[in-house]
Amino acid sequence: MFKKGNGQAIELSSKELIPNRRSQDSWATDQLCSQCEMKLNINFDQYGLNLLRGKIGHKEKDNEGVHFSDIDTLKFKSFILSVFWRGAVSQHENYKTIKVSSQFLELVRSNLVRSTNISKNSCTVIVQRLVDSTENGGFSISDLREFVVSPFPRTYEVRGELYNSITMIFLGFCFEIFQSPIRANGKISKFALGSSKTTYTFPYLEIMEIPEVLDLMARGLQKENQGLTYV
């Protein structure tokens, strides 16, 4: 959890003996040459980050979520997968939980190299807007934008089929990447990014309704009560 202005994060670990502590580790490692970094930045990063910051498209809010129109959903999906790919091939320990097939990584990589968008039929990406409606406090929208979680895996059973996913949390959003497309009645699920080429709704997701995050916070509080903290 980052606090603006001091350049440090408060790091909480799910591992039992690692204390709550301050950290300046950005999780960055040398991966690409400057030419490829610039290519990803120009083709995907600038678009994706500007969309998440509300600088692209038309945005409306209601009780269901945040609705975006006049956007390129496949380009935005490719941005998310480019972030995912960089995490998957990173040597940093905080990304070791990303375990996906080499075929899927090559699918993403080859599209990034060609600067082409990844088809809506190749995989499913679902994005949700984080909120915290806890009474008498809780995380503000600004706080949630400064909250980053190591990617974590999940497995679902849908109509007798197993689906594996990796979830990433950053910039106040929850991104869930499935290696195979999730279909409903033969069509790509309406919740899948790219099912509409120009519109997408980010449903609200309560931060404390994410079991993995709730467990992390509970462990952090327990360590604080035990004095296992440097914060």
pLDDT tens by residue, 136-194: 778 999 999 999 999 999 998 877 788 899 999 999 999 999 988 877 655 556 688 98
Provide the pLDDT for residue 209. Answer: 95
- pLDDT value of position 122: 85
Residue 107, both tokens: 């699918």
Q: Which helix (H) or strand (E) holds 83?
A: helix 73-89
Element spanning 155, H or E = strand 149-158
d(CA 77, CA 44): 9
pLDDT at 4: 63
- The CA R_g of the chain, rounded to the nearest whole Å, is 18
Residue in this structure with the two tokens 């060609």, named with its chain if needed: 114
- Positions of the chain with pLDDT lower than 50, given as ranges: none
At 54, phi and psi to the nearest 5? 75, 20
**pLDDT score of 188:** 55
Q: Which positions ≥6 away from 207 have C-beta within 8 Å?
A: 130, 131, 132, 139, 144, 147, 213
